[in-house]
Amino acid sequence: MISSAQNHKIKAVRLLTGRAKDRREQQAFLAEGVRLVEEALASNWPFRFVLHSSELSERGSQLLTRIRQRGIEIDEVSGKLLASLSETENSQGILAVLADETPQRVHELNFVLIADAVRDPGNLGTLLRTAEAAGVDATFLAPGTTDSFAPKVVRAGMGAHFRLPIYEVSWDEIKTQVAVYGWNVYLADMHGRSCWETAFRPPLALIIGGEAEGATQAARGLATVTVSIPMQGKAESLNAAVAGAVLMFEVVRQRRLNTRDTR
């Protein structure tokens, strides 16, 4: 059992909870909790090692058995020490260090999400979770967007990281992709055309700007159409995650209608 905070694996975990630079250098990130570790295992994501305490639920114990069957390195850690590593209030008694691998390029990109300087980890994680649920083919993270593999983003993503290709790219790379795939580029903006009156024509890219300052000039220069979400109340705007969810599922709704119309 690991009981020392000076153990090299404990030090490695602490490093991964910090700066994006350290995660990139280690080419690794953390998945904490039974649900996330289950998702990583089900997706055949490459594991470095797993740490657990004796205070596991029955579901957690069953998960540990499946991890052992895969031949993944496992170490028990004292409950107090593992809790000190946890980013959550109540540790579920298990965390995994996973390899951060750049996903292979997807050949068909008919519906993509571009996160433009989205800095709030909770918002970015929720956007990724919603994008995966909406059937987005890939997500591109433009400059200024927070690290997609920060612990808070991974938790908010609820497993989306293991199923949705995520690319950190420059605006020049995004412009190249727009030219290659011929995307119609829709930008969320409070002064844009109502999304209920906009035809989202595939192939398309949807840009969601940051919480404080909205879309960057680079995003505005790339947009084909700006779209807004009409609101009945007095709120000026929605946060990035909610706005992204509304617009992504409006795309889904229109795609389903168009599919019915062509039958």
168 and 83 in a common domain: no
224 and 167 in a common domain: yes
Residue 85 lies in a domain: yes
Closest C-alpha among 80, 79, 86, 76 to residue 2: 76
- Tell me what the mean pLDDT of segment 177-192 comes to: 95
46 and 167 in a common domain: no
pLDDT of amino acid 88: 75
Convert 191-222 to b/e letters by CB count within 10 Å (16 or more is b).
ebeebeebebeeebbbbbbbbeebbbebbeeb
pLDDT of amino acid 262: 54
pLDDT of amino acid 227: 97
CATH number assigned to the domain comprising residue 72: 3.30.1330.30
Q: Strand ranges (DSSP E) for the chain?
A: 28-32, 47-52, 74-76, 94-99, 111-116, 138-141, 166-168, 184-194, 204-209, 225-228
pLDDT of amino acid 62: 96
- Output the CA torsion sign for 25, 26, 27, 33: negative
Helix (H) or strand (E) holding 240: helix 240-261
- Tell me what the mean pLDDT of segment 15-19 comes to: 93
Give yes or no for residue 79 having a pLDDT over 90: no
Q: How many independent structural domains does the chain possess?
A: 2
pLDDT of amino acid 112: 98
- Tell me what the mean pLDDT of segment 63-83 comes to: 94
88 and 130 in a common domain: no
Cα distances (angstroms) measured from residue 114 to each of 20, 135, 242 = 20, 14, 15
- Dist CA 205 CA 141 (whole Å): 12
Of 99, 120, 139, the residue that ends a domain is 99
In this prediction, what percent of the chain has a pLDDT beyond 70?
98
Give yes or no for residue 259 having a pLDDT over 80: no
245 and 121 in a common domain: yes
Question: Looking up tokens 């009945």, which residue turns up?
Answer: 232
Mean of all residue pLDDT scores within the chain: 92
237 and 144 in a common domain: yes
pLDDT of amino acid 258: 80
Residues 240 and 211 sit within 8 Å (Cβ to Cβ):
yes
253 and 164 in a common domain: yes
**Residues contacting residue 109 through CB under 8 Å, at least 6 positions apart:** 137, 138, 177, 181, 183, 203
Residues 50 and 67 sit within 8 Å (Cβ to Cβ):
yes
244 and 150 in a common domain: yes
- Tell me what the mean pLDDT of segment 19-48 comes to: 95
pLDDT of amino acid 174: 96
CATH number assigned to the domain comprising residue 163: 3.40.1280.10
257 and 234 in a common domain: yes
Residue 249 amino acid letter: F
Range of the domain at 41: 8-99
pLDDT of amino acid 238: 85
143 and 87 in a common domain: no
Give yes or no for residue 263 having a pLDDT over 60: no
Q: Which two tokens stand for residue 168?
A: 């950190």
65-79, 85-99, 129-143, 191-205: the lowest-pLDDT one: 85-99
94 and 124 in a common domain: no
Task: Give tens-digit pLDDT for 245-258.
Answer: 999 999 999 999 88
48-52, 129-133, 183-187, 232-236: the lowest-pLDDT one: 232-236
Residues 15 and 30 sit within 8 Å (Cβ to Cβ):
no
pLDDT of amino acid 261: 57
pLDDT of amino acid 214: 81
169 and 122 in a common domain: yes
